[in-house]
Amino acid sequence: MDKAAAAKRINELRKQIEEHNYYYYVLDRPRITDAEYDRLMRELTELEQQYPDLVTPDSPTQRVGGAPAQGFQSVRHLAPMLSLSNAFSAADLLDFDKRVRNGLAGARVEYVVELKIDGLAVSLLYENGRFVRGATRGDGEVGEDITQNLKTIKSIPLRLRQDLELLEVRGEAYMPKKEFARVNEAREEAGEPLFANPRNAAAGSLRQLDPAVTAERSLDIFLYALGAVQGQAPVKTHLEGLHLLKDLGFRINPNIVLLPNINEVIDYCQNWTEKRHDLPYEIDGMVIKVNSLAQQAALGFTSKSPRWAIAYKFPAEQAVTKVKRIYVRV
Ligand SMILES: NC(=O)c1cc2c(=O)c3cc(F)ccc3oc2nc1N
């Protein structure tokens, strides 16, 4: 095949593979088998090996980046990455609702409620539809550049489904419970120290200097906030923002709901206190957000947290140590 034909075939393959990634990771409805997907990837890899100058950073073959980094560059977020204030009881949530409604002169408020994924907060930057940079929260203003490591997370699109001029999004990268058990088993075998919990394991995996190590650990991510965006009509509510994220190719958690008042929010949060143990990933609470972006803007931020959102933390698990008594008949 000559170079022009190869270039054409390479572009076709990239489009097909990106489409299959969207159906598999975002819609959770794969349209081809893993074997067919691998065949497409193999054909693309072989063509790129034949014509190396046709390789581009956003090609699906470029997920496991270059050589290990010496250290992490610092990056300044386009908008500060703040943290959530906490509620620990229904009473705290009622107080939050009262503050919100006072701040809005008694206007009607509806809330979006999300699971609070227990992972590592990250920010992803896209320019002209391509993933150009990923960073940790850091101190909220400046984080660490972990782009090469984030590229290894297969559900992070290297190319958006719409080529927006500029887009910054926030999400929580995490390690599923099963992967956490597998990684710790391997570490035990190798006599290495174990990770205390999936959050530490995800953070440890993403703050690896060698992307090849990160690539060995199947991490995943749920996006939860639309940050700076250029080239797209502004959305009016948080929920529309989440739908836009999904349309762009991002993975959104399936358990997000819109509720009309704080009492329904309290019920929904309390239901998840037990239900969370059935999830394939850890959550340490719920996140409640005012849905209207105009109301969010009216409420604004304190020095470190939004006034229009709060985290409801589940009660700490009673550390029940199951002591097995073994009675030996003497
Ligand atoms: N861990 C999470 O699953 C999660 C975390 C945050 C935040 O940390 C967060 C921080 C802000 F300043 C504003 C909104 C937020 O929304 C969030 N939404 C979520 N679903």
In Å, what is the CA distance from 152 to each residue of 194, 206, 232, 247? 22, 10, 27, 21
Closest atom of ligand 1 to CA, residue 253: 20
Residues with Cβ < 8 Å from 280, sequence gap 6 or more? 176, 177, 178
Average pLDDT for the chain = 93
- Which pLDDT does position 294 carry in this prediction? 96
| Residue 29 binned pLDDT confidence (cut-offs 50, 70, 90) | very high
- Which pLDDT does position 53 carry in this prediction? 95
The CA 224 to ligand 1 mean position distance, Å, reads 7
pLDDT tens figures, 247-261: 999 999 999 999 999
| Residue 228 binned pLDDT confidence (cut-offs 50, 70, 90) | confident
- Which pLDDT does position 219 carry in this prediction? 97
The Cα angle at residue 224 between residues 263 and 195, in degrees rounded to 5: 100
- Nearest residue (by CA) to ligand 1, atom 8, is 83
- Nearest residue (by CA) to ligand 1, atom 4, is 116
Cβ burial, residue 48 (10 Å; 0-12/13-18/19+):
buried
Contact 135, 146 (CB under 8 A): yes
Mutate to test the pocket of ligand 1, among 172, 226, 291 (most ligand atoms within 8 A of CB): 172
Q: What is the DSSP letter of 153?
A: -
- Which pLDDT does position 317 carry in this prediction? 73
Please tell me if the CB atom of residue 225 comes closer than 6 angstroms to any atom of ligand 1.
yes
Alpha-carbon distance of 147 to 9, in angstroms, equals 28
Q: For residue 237, what are its two tokens? A: 């509510």
What is the distance, to the nearest Å, from the Cα of residue 269 to the centroid of all Cα atoms in its chain?
21
Which amino acids are annotated catalytic? 116
Q: List 174's β-bridge partners, or say none.
A: 220
pLDDT at 325 over 70: no
- The full length of the chain comes to 330
Alpha-carbon distance of 200 to 191, in angstroms, equals 18
> Residue 272 carries which side chain, given as an amino acid letter?
W
> Residue 103 carries which side chain, given as an amino acid letter?
G
The CA 304 to ligand 1 mean position distance, Å, reads 13
The CA 145 to ligand 1 mean position distance, Å, reads 20
Alpha-carbon distance of 193 to 187, in angstroms, equals 7
Mutate to test the pocket of ligand 1, among 170, 175, 296 (most ligand atoms within 8 A of CB): 170
- Nearest residue (by CA) to ligand 1, atom 18, is 224
- Cα-Cα-Cα-Cα dihedral sign, residues 115, 118, 121, 122: negative
Please tell me if the CB atom of residue 287 comes closer than 6 angstroms to any atom of ligand 1.
yes
Mutate to test the pocket of ligand 1, among 226, 282, 287 (most ligand atoms within 8 A of CB): 287
Closest atom of ligand 1 to CA, residue 81: 12
- Which pLDDT does position 320 carry in this prediction? 52
> Residue 131 carries which side chain, given as an amino acid letter?
F
Please tell me if the CB atom of residue 229 comes closer than 6 angstroms to any atom of ligand 1.
no
Q: Which is nearest to 155 in space by CA: 45, 35, 30?
A: 30
What is the distance, to the nearest Å, from the Cα of residue 245 to the centroid of all Cα atoms in its chain?
11
Please tell me if the CB atom of residue 118 comes closer than 6 angstroms to any atom of ligand 1.
no
% of the chain at pLDDT higher than 90: 85
The CA 326 to ligand 1 mean position distance, Å, reads 46
Average pLDDT in the 208-227 region?
A: 92
- The single residue listed with the structure tokens 């010496």 is 70
pLDDT at 329 over 60: no
Q: Does the interface predicted TM-score (ipTM) exceed 0.95?
A: yes
Alpha-carbon distance of 143 to 203, in angstroms, equals 13
- Helix, strand, coil % over all residues of the chain, rounded to 5: 40, 20, 40
pLDDT tens figures, 71-118: 899 999 998 999 999 999 999 999 999 999 999 999 999 999 999 999
Average pLDDT in the 287-315 region?
A: 97
Please tell me if the CB atom of residue 77 comes closer than 6 angstroms to any atom of ligand 1.
no
